[in-house]
Structure 1
Amino acid sequence: MDEQFCQSCGMPLSDTNKGTNADRSQNNDYCMYCYKDGRFTQDFTMSQMIEFCLQFTDQINKEAGLNLTPVQAKEQMLQCFPHLKRWREKDGRTLAEKAVNLLSQCENVTVVSIDTDGYPRPVQMSKIHTRGFNEIWMATSSTSVKVSDFRKNSKAGLCYDHYGDGVSMRGTVEIISDNATRKEMWQEWFIHHFPGGPTDPNYVILHFIGTEATFWINGEFVHERIH
């Protein structure tokens, strides 16, 4: 009998590592790491799956008796994966919809302010709320350097990525300090940074709005203005 392979990640399939359908029966197409209870365990694009699998190159080499470098392993996956069932099926989502999904996978984003000398200053921040793929809200201290930058110059950059797919944007940042919004955006873990709670005078919200975006998603590269 021909050897079976997971139609998502390419792993050899056996009765001990097959995924499960919604009724808990074995699924004959996908492994347990990619498919469980009738659903994919990770909402990846094909390029994300390849980047995810590359971290297991040493394990793959050991189990298969190979000696592939990560570059060689990636080349093999790029040749093989388009023929697997999961990736043969066309993803009908728009690029914007894919970007929304990508942003949902990211806990952090990188925000860029412009200092008084005209240099970009990137810093990683936790996202606390989003709208679409180009509006992101973040909490920070009113006395931080980035807030000082944005008070002088609202121009900003922001990017996020996950397993090889990414979005980079240019836009503006609004500094929000009204009590209604701060209370709405408040999360319990903020108390470690702002002991005064939602009305702590040091607690402000940064609201980034992207006006231009560069997408790199599943091998597709697009730059466009956001309307």
Structure 2
Amino acid sequence: MRNYEQTIGNLIDKATLTIISYIDSDGFPISKAMLSPREREGIQVFWFSTNTSSLKVGCFKENPAASIYFVDKRFYRGVSLLGTMEVLETAEAKERIWHEGDSMYYSKGMTDPDYCVLKFTAKKGRFYSNFKSEDFIL
């Protein structure tokens, strides 16, 4: 792939959902569909909003190992990124990705204790396209 960051970035930007995977307290992987990231920095750092009370947040606090997956169904290609997930509950992190209309999910606004931010940082990835996979390090 000539410019993997641009190719993968375009795939991510067009994806309508993200699959996030984490490890539960019994050591089993769990995958969950989420909305697209609120923000991304290249193909290495991704910001998501979620409920503090969710199972995944508790699991990430215990074990930050994570993967995120984006798929382009139209061309049957995808990218899996492996790294770590941080749970952020600071006012700065919450303000950074807050969107108009989020109070529909978090009735107390940005200060809602059930609103937090997930920050994923990728260390490596695997891109699938045209019946072959390619690993890369970030």
TM-score, length basis structure 1: 0.57
- Offset of residue 136 of structure 1: 1.4
Q: 1:129 to 1:213 in 2, by over 3 A?
A: same
Q: Which residue of 2 aligns with 1:149?
A: 59
Q: Displacement of 1:224 after TM fit?
A: 2.1
Give 2:47's aligned residue.
137
Q: d(CA) in 1 for partners of 2:131 and 2:41?
A: 24
Within a 5 Å distance, the mapping from 1:97-136 to structure 2 comes to: 97-126=6-35, 127-136=37-46
Amino acid at match of 2:49: A
Aligned partner of residue 146 in structure 1, secondary structure: helix
Matched with 2:117 is: 205
- Determine the structure 1 residue equivalent to 2:126: 214
Give 1:185 deviation, angstroms: 0.7
Give, as a single letter, the amino acid of the residue that structure 1 aligns with 2:8. Answer: A
Residue of structure 1 in register with 2:69 after alignment: 159
State the 1:220 CA deviation. Answer: 4.9
Preserved contact between residue 183 and residue 199 of structure 1 (Cα < 8 Å):
no
- Asked if 1:194 is matched to 2:103, the reply is no
* Shift in CA distance, 217/134, structure 1 to aligned 2, threshold 3 Å: farther
Q: CA RMSD of the aligned region, Å? A: 1.5
Give the conservation status (yes or no) of the 8 Å contact 1:171–1:211: yes
Query: For 1:67-82, what aligned pairs fall within 5 Å after superposition?
Result: none
C-alpha contact 1:111 1:156 (8 A) present in aligned 2: yes
Matches of 2:41 and 2:129 in 1, distance apart?
Answer: 19
Q: Does 1 or 2 have the higher relative contact order (CA < 8 Å, sep 6+)?
A: 2
Tell me the secondary structure at the aligned position of residue 95 of structure 2. helix
Residue segments in structure 2 that go unaligned for 5+ positions in a row = none
CA distance in 2, matches of 1:122, 1:199: 28
Separation of aligned partners in 1, 2:7 and 2:132:
11
Q: Partner letter of residue 161 of structure 1?
A: V
| Higher relative strand content | 2
Structure 1 CA distance, aligned partners of 2:77 and 2:44? 15
SS in 1 for 2:7: helix
Q: Deviations over 1:156-210 (max 9, x none)?
A: 0110011212001211001111101211210123211101111111100001111
Shift of 1:106: 1.2
Bigger helix share: 1
Q: Which has the larger radius of gyration?
A: 1
Paired residues, what number? 135
